[in-house]
Chain A
Amino acid sequence: MNKPDFSIEINGKSYRARPEQTVLEVVREENVFVPSICYTPTLGSIQTCDTCYVSVNGALVRSCVTKAEPGMVVDTESILVQEAQYEGMSRILKNHELYCTVCDNNNGNCTVHNTVEHMGLAHQKYPFKAKPYAPDNSHPFYRYEPDQCILCGRCVEACQDLQVNETLTIDWSREVPRVIWDNDVPIDQSSCVSCGHCVNVCPCNALMEKSMLGEAGYLTAIPPKILGPMIDMTKEVEPGYKEIFAISEVEAAMRKSRIKRTKTVCTYCGVGCSFEVWTKDRDILKIEPLEEAPVNGISTCVKGKWGWDFVNSEERLTKPLIRQGDEFVEATWEEALDVIQEKLGFVKEQYGPDSIGYIASSKCSNEENYLFQKFARSVMGTNNVDNCSRYCQSPATAGLLRTVGRGGDAGTIHDISSAELIMVIGANPAESHPVLATRIKRAHKLHGQKLFVADIRKHELAQRADLLVHPKPSTDIIWISAVTKYILEMGWEDKEFLQNRVNGLDEYIKSLDKFTLAYAEEKTGLSQETIIQIATMIHEAKSVCALWAMGITQHKGATDASTAISNLLLITGNYGRTGTGAYPLRGHNNVQGACDFGTMPAWFPGYEPVQDASVRERYEKAWGTPLPTEPGHDNHHMVEAMQDGRLKALYLFGEEMALVDANSNFVQNAFEKLEFFVVQDIFFSKTAQFADVILPAAPSLEKDGTFVNTERRIQRFYKVMEPLGDSKPDWEIFQLVANRFGANWNYKHPSEIMDEAASLAPLFAGVNYERLEGFKSLVWPVAADGSDTPLLYTESFAFPDGKARLIPVDWTPPFQAGADFDLHLNNGRILEHFHEGNMTHRSKGLNHKVPDVWLEVSPELAKERNLEDGTLVGLTSPYGYVEVKVMVTDRVKGNELYLPMNTREDNEAVNYLTSSYHDYITHTPAYKEMGVKMQVLEQKGEPPLPKHNHRYGNRVPQISVKVEEKWSRTDFTPIDEMIIKGDEHGTGYPENQQKSS
């Protein structure tokens, strides 16, 4: 039961307050000014800045930690309070030189600047004192300037308790305290994962993006030789801060005309972080996250915060290219479109519409995916359209569609952070979905959330787990089913939920017969006790979220394994409530949206089947053309059809299929057989090398559109800059191509495309650009009135009778490469790079942190084969060969290897080793089922991972900034004591006077 609101008195007026609110939160909400430097809504109270003193019932208290109580009398204006706040601020300014006009952080949002100005501080009580430390410029992306650091500890709080990387602390034991990284090492050599949290929250210019320095201000590029005396002179002649601020305000206002701030949505993983991009012409000055961002708030990760250099890369495609003999020749758009019209038109006429395949991009917008499937279906007459969810989460979608009816996450990141138990199965969120992982790490560290991880690799969340299990590869469905069976046997199922909301229980229970504890132990290698332990954890938690990714979905029995997870959640009643549900973590920024908006062979936008005549009729009427009636080829089918000659031409955009699809040799060989191949991309990718025409596209920063993240959240991104060279937004290109085939489209802006999609797909009925303005977002399904659905299944499941379905599933044994291939090859992502690196490898800073790919080898295997960091080995599978350097790590065990996919080099890319075996239902490749043999090529060599990588770092976990250590310093006098003692003028309110006398 929520307690009712109550009223408190502030400066003689009555205000509403909610239970659990602090006095500071109340005054902030009511716009009553109280300075607060260290407090932010996300980080909460740190208690270091001592500026937020107010008088409560006559006593001076920190408003940030004083809970509002009914009848409380608060005073924020008396002279006594102002003296306390002034003292707090003066102590801060002892650590911070105000040279705002020549500071790159003078952009109107500097907390220190704004607070000093608002308080009307005229003079500095304590002189500024430089600290005896040099600035730390070692990190490629940001720098720490101790002289400007006010020791508020926001950065430490963010690092320790929000990002939970536990790198930063303040060393309060020194004569002059400062922020340190790990055990006081240069930033670049610490455990810092470059997430940017510390820089995002810094209230001044102590932690700054290097890309801002000397760039943001009009006067900030002045050489130090001139700048130093200028600062001195300004301080000498200026009568007070008021005048400094007058000038700096003017300068900050002038910056507005040259620094553009544009809201965008990240284009890397599926978490869907949104933030402002600050640009000066085409230069990206910084990424600035804001509290109001619905998913990430002030959080970012290394790629989202820093990984945007690719936009200005000299290697961007800027002109259409046409294959002529053994080279590509630059051409005009007209020339390129002529070729496409002629060749694609010929293939269509000669071999029929189904002889052409269309591969869409999960990097591109909803509008672009919508338009592409419309082009394939309506203009070109085929359902042969698919996207890269086929490589990752199609099995999860299928598993959820058949059990609960919606192919998306059951809730949002807020459910994940509020669950009592998080199950992470075959996923590495700390590297693949970093900001989402922070919410788990925070809840686990601070709020008692339990964490269970099942993985064959000991990644970060595995290291932090309360229970970590390492089943034999490809056996997850067995232990999941055994856990479910055990729960049923113990009577721990949610009987009421099953009775009222679920179909198929009896048949399902029967199907579990074989999954005894003994069978599970034999097949998975997990002990019976461990399986009971897992079941007990689930039973004891009132709310459970299950998160999974490629560790489940890239197997031959992937849809069934996903189904088993959903079944387990149904049995235990973990759907439809806050903190529950199934969360297949989407890998790309818009892989959810690509599926949602119809680039799938069997579905129109909004998951309506192409075989349904009434749905088809709706689209035929709207588009004015007949539509194909049968599902088309998926990606896998297309490759097969290219190989046997049924598919003659392919139009692909924004997808590095040559390296990302499994069994690269086979896929590339298939490309070679095409009669005509159009590739549309921002870079000259490996896939583009096989093309006949290459069209230069524009990335998200150069266009408008929307993405759907893993939560089903639709978010808008805005054009930051014009397309580079002759490149064009993908939707414009589709329109040009479609019009060559008589489409006669005339879309002027992506919002018109969204309006069309929303008018046709009931799932998005109420979606429009106005409702998505700025940081507003909508989580589908969206009703016509604009109401959305952050949490699914609260009332009913997405089936006609509203009931979920338990689906019996069985184990599919994995592909075995044969006895010769004695090492198990696991593969996936790492934090610093994205996928094959077409974008992130264009960043100097990211390449500094991770220049090369490496092979993770266990200490046991290293010992057995005489391997060490830097040993060059060759790996052979039945499908190909690569050469990579070794890193020995206990993240992997025994004969299990881990080879990240982040390389564009032909002799290193993991998919030259993987096979075309696939999930038997969705055709998602079984990337995770491969054996290889290893030969040592060069025993000694330079380690592929440089010493300045966070993996070598040494974390220093603690809760918050340890402000008690500050308070126990001999040079610290509590402000309330000092002010009350010093209140000799007797100028406080009567109650204060009484207390101080």
Chain B
Amino acid sequence: MDISIQELTKIYPNGHKALKDINLEIGNGMFGLLGANGAGKSTLMRILVSLMHPTSGKVLVNGMDLKKHRRKVRSYTGYLPQDFSAFPKLRAWEFLDYSARLAGVKDKRKRRDEIDEMLEEVGLYEARERFANNLSGGMKRRLGIAQALIGDPKIIIVDEPTTGLDPDERIRFRNLLTKISSRDVIIVLSTHIVGDISSTCHHMALLRNGRLVYDGSPEDLIDMARGKVWKISASHEQFDEVSVHFNVISSIPSVGGWELEVVTDSPDGYNAAPMDPNLEHAYVYYMEHHESLLEHGNKIKTFV
């Protein structure tokens, strides 16, 4: 199963260019789409689930043009939108049944088993008889992922799934996605939370202002930031100065000052020690420097 996005552009009627010439190949497994709010992630997601037409370009799923084989592709797809909420007057299992039926699970017994399994998997089995409006935020989100996963979809598209979840819920959710990604499916995870991708994806892309700025593995992205992450011990007086000059990733108060993590090529003039970068550092570094990286021809193989 693969998705090929070719020269995809979306311009809204008000003239806003949400996506510009996106080219992307997505294979089986978890694929992370990272970008700031408004970068175009949701637009791309909505195009992928055929809720929106692109202005130009095409999406091929297993070689089939989405535009021409919408019904077929829809039958492969599960989708969890950003702010999912179920019909308040349907019980948890009913909503899953509704989704399963539409997803094409015809056999009643199979459907029932699958619903039960899915409810178990997302930890909602006990709440199966509850109306959606009686579920907590986390439960609703789990119900959302359950409906996206029901019917054994080959493409699962989840848009900002962990926003608003507490840490336990988030971890649980990531684990669930990871588990599913082991099957022969594509999971497209759109998020602005770096941690979601670092802990789940082997392939990711970065969107910035509608443009694809990175397509590769998280590790490669992290490598690009190696030697660029520093821990600076700063006095109270230096804090503001450091904040102005560098991208401060974190700031922890210490005795007599601050322990600051910054992303920069060289922290000259400060008491700095190099650190091992993580994806968050890499994301910040990359988003900060990718223009200059481009200019200096420091282009890596997966760079678009």
The finding on whether chains A and B are genuine partners in a shared complex, rather than unrelated, reads no
